[in-house]
Chain A
Amino acid sequence: AQSVTQLGSHVSVSEGALVLLRCNYSSSVPPYLFWYVQYPNQGLQLLLKYTSAATLVKGINGFEAEFKKSETSFHLTKPSAHMSDAAEYFCAVSDRKAGTGFQKLVFGTGTRLLVSP
Chain B
Amino acid sequence: SQTIHQWPATLVQPVGSPLSLECTVEGTSNPNLYWYRQAAGRGLQLLFYSVGIGQISSEVPQNLSASRPQDRQFILSSKKLLLSDSGFYLCAWSPPGRVARTYEQYFGPGTRLTVT
Contact = CB atoms under 8 A, between A and B. Distances in A.
Contacts of B51: 102
Classify chain B: how many residues form its interface, as a range.
20 to 34
A115 B99 CA distance: 39
Classify chain A: how many residues form its interface, as a range.
20 to 34
B42 A109 contact: yes
Interface in A91-107: 94, 96, 100-105, 107
A32 B102 contact: yes
Nearest to A103: B101
A46 interface: yes
A107 B43 contact: yes
A46 B41 contact: no
Given A102-B49, A110-B43, 14 more contacts: A32-B101, A41-B88, A43-B90, A43-B107, A45-B107, A51-B101, A101-B99, A103-B103, A104-B46, A105-B46, A105-B105, A108-B43, A109-B43, A110-B41
